[in-house]
Structure formats: C-alpha cells, structure tokens
Amino acid sequence: MTTPATPRPPVNLDWSTLGFSYIRTDERYLSHWRGGQWDSGQLTLDNVLHISEGSTALHYGQQCFEGLKAYRAADGSVNLFRPDQNAARMQESCRRVLMPEVSTEQFIDACRQVVRANDHWIPPYGTGGALYLRPYVIGVGDNIGVRSAPEFLFGVFAIPVGAYFKGGLTPHNFITSGYDRAAPHGTGAAKVGGNYAASLLPGFEAKERHFADAIYLDPATHTKIEEVGAANFFAITKDGQTFVTPKSPSILPSITKYSLLHLAEHRLGLKVVEGDVYIDRLGEYSEAGACGTAAVITPIGGIQHGDRFHVFHSETQVGPVTRRLYDELTGIQFGDRPAPEGWLVKV
C-alpha cells in the first residue's frame, strides 16, 4: 500500500518540453464490478491497485484500455475531444474479451471527475500539451482457469503530456516489421493489452535501428500497410487531392483518423478513400503521416522496407496538406476553430 500524499505539480515543470511519460497526478477514479453491476465509483489518491494474484488481467490478458485528452482552451475552459467515441470503442473492446461494458454516461462522468480533480495538472493553453486520460477495465478476483473474471475494475487516471514522438510536427522515419501485432481475425480492432505486448519487440527492434517505430503490414499477406506503431496511417496522393487510409478488420479504428477523414473531406475539400495502401506502391503518395491521440499527427519522412527506403515529402519538413490537417485538428481540440457538432465536451 502507498501513502496517499497528494503530489502537486512542481513549480518548475516545463510544460513546453513535456514528453509522454508517467507522472503521478493527484486523483484517479475507480469503480468496481461485483454481483452483476458497476458501483458508482469514486476518486482516490492511491495510485496502486491491490488485486488478487489470480486476476485474469495478469494471466490471460483480460483487460482493455483507452486514451483521450483534455485540452485547455484560450478562455481557460477545458475540452474533452469526442469522449463518446472512446466510450463506444471501450465497449467494443470489453465485448471482445468478455468483460462487462461501462456505459457512455459513466465513462464520460469518470473522465470529467478526473480532469476536474487534476485541473492544475492540465498544461496551459499555448504550450501544446494536454492532459492525457487513461481509462481501463481489468478482470480481477480469485481465479485460475481460463475463463472470464468474477470481478472487474474500471479506472481512469490522468497525466500531463506533450509530444509522443519528439519534436512535434517534425517528420520521423519508420521501418516495416516482419512481426504482426494482431492476427487476421484476432483482436487487432480492440484496444487490448495483448496487441501491445506483441508490439514491444518489433518497436524495440525498430528503435535499435534508429527508426521512430515499426510499421505493421496486413497479417495475412504482408503487402499492405496497416498501422504505424500505436497509431493509424494516412497518405495524400501525388496530386494532393485524395486522403487515403487503410481499411482492415485488424486495425484499431482510430478516433483521430476518422476525425481527419471528416476534416479532409469537409474542411479541406479532399476526396477520401479507405482502402489498400500497398507497401510496394508508396510512389503514389506525396505525403504520409501517423495519427492518433498520443501521436496527434506525426509526419512520416520515410519508410524502410527491406533494403529500400522511400521518402515522401521530405525527411525534415512537414508537407502542406499534413500541416493543414494538423492545424485544423488541433485548432478544434484547443477550441480555436469551430468544432463539428458533438466533437467537444466541456468539462
């Protein structure tokens, strides 16, 4: 057990250089599922879970999680970006690994409570940082057989974060992996820990070779791009007219990606295509990027595939369409540009 002393942000915390690392903030939310329902949940200062050694989350990967951000706007108010979409995706993930769903209402209420309780940890407007929220559901309780857990925990904690890949909107290079993060009819579309365990070694190998992360190809044929580390992939065709992003049942449906798809069509006037992106036809695209809550938009400078290295727009400069998408998305998130109906939830 820990002593629940309240941590306060160090006065010298440099908001503008925050990365993506665990920082213990003040309060987190916990709800317990017992006897067929979630309790009403409460905030706690304790950042350590006390769970049975037989918990299915520990042995059989019966768990799932989410990631979303709270953004400080110029007027001091705080925006959650599309939390209903994270709630819906977590419900899908729970169904896939046989866990009870958390209602959208409870999910958003828990996020709001955690943001309010950690208000002074939200990076100020203008620093580019945000408060990252990590909701999760885990199977707990005394058990040893491969079956669903007798009890579950739903938690949400918060961490102030900056750039996931160093340097913000600067291009990074990636390398295709020979490993798969998910199977063709497996759990790739669910945000479950097993997919991430499978990605640790390929990610480590990519970084050892000085790439930002691994690119996963489709697990059935290894000919098409699926994911970029823990982010989705998009590309812009050579004529600058079409936003293309892969479609596959083993890709995690990124909320950022679907938001960009909408903005590309309705704000930038581009055509949008969800389809195949063949790894040996990268010459069809002038720009490419990785997108996700953590990665925001990370321009892809080049991709190493076997002994070939393909450069898109530039290894050092962001392309014009990628920049417009980034400005539009982040402008909405921080409340500087009008948001499509229902995208922002005030805390």
Both structure tokens of 115 = 């943001």
C-alpha 68/C-alpha 255 separation (Å) is: 9
In whole angstroms, the minimum distance from the beta carbon of 260 to ligand PLP comes to 9
In whole angstroms, the minimum distance from the beta carbon of 111 to ligand PLP comes to 14
In whole angstroms, the minimum distance from the beta carbon of 72 to ligand PLP comes to 19
- Cβ(347)–Cβ(79) under 8 Å? yes
C-beta of 125 vs 132, nearer to ligand PLP:
132
C-beta of 67 vs 168, nearer to ligand PLP:
67
In whole angstroms, the minimum distance from the beta carbon of 116 to ligand PLP comes to 22
C-beta of 292 vs 302, nearer to ligand PLP:
292
Q: What would the DSSP string read from start to end of 290-342?
A: EEETTTEEEEEEEEEETTEEEE-S-SSS--HHHHHHHHHHHHHHTTSSPPPTT
C-beta of 74 vs 220, nearer to ligand PLP:
220
C-beta of 131 vs 255, nearer to ligand PLP:
255
Residue ranges in contact with ligand PLP by CB under 6 A:
67, 227, 230-232, 252, 254-257, 292-293
**Integer-rounded Cα radius of gyration of the chain:** 20
In whole angstroms, the minimum distance from the beta carbon of 176 to ligand PLP comes to 16
C-alpha 253/C-alpha 189 separation (Å) is: 6
Crossing angle of the two packed helices 320-333 and 255-266, in degrees rounded to 10: 110
C-alpha 205/C-alpha 211 separation (Å) is: 9
In whole angstroms, the minimum distance from the beta carbon of 297 to ligand PLP comes to 10
In whole angstroms, the minimum distance from the beta carbon of 258 to ligand PLP comes to 8
Under DSSP, is residue 257 helix (H, G, I), strand (E, B) or coil? Answer: helix
C-alpha 20/C-alpha 127 separation (Å) is: 14
C-beta of 55 vs 259, nearer to ligand PLP:
259
C-beta of 28 vs 257, nearer to ligand PLP:
257
Nearest Cα neighbor of 329 from 277, 273, 267, 280 is: 267
Nearest Cα neighbor of 314 from 214, 172, 133, 103 is: 172
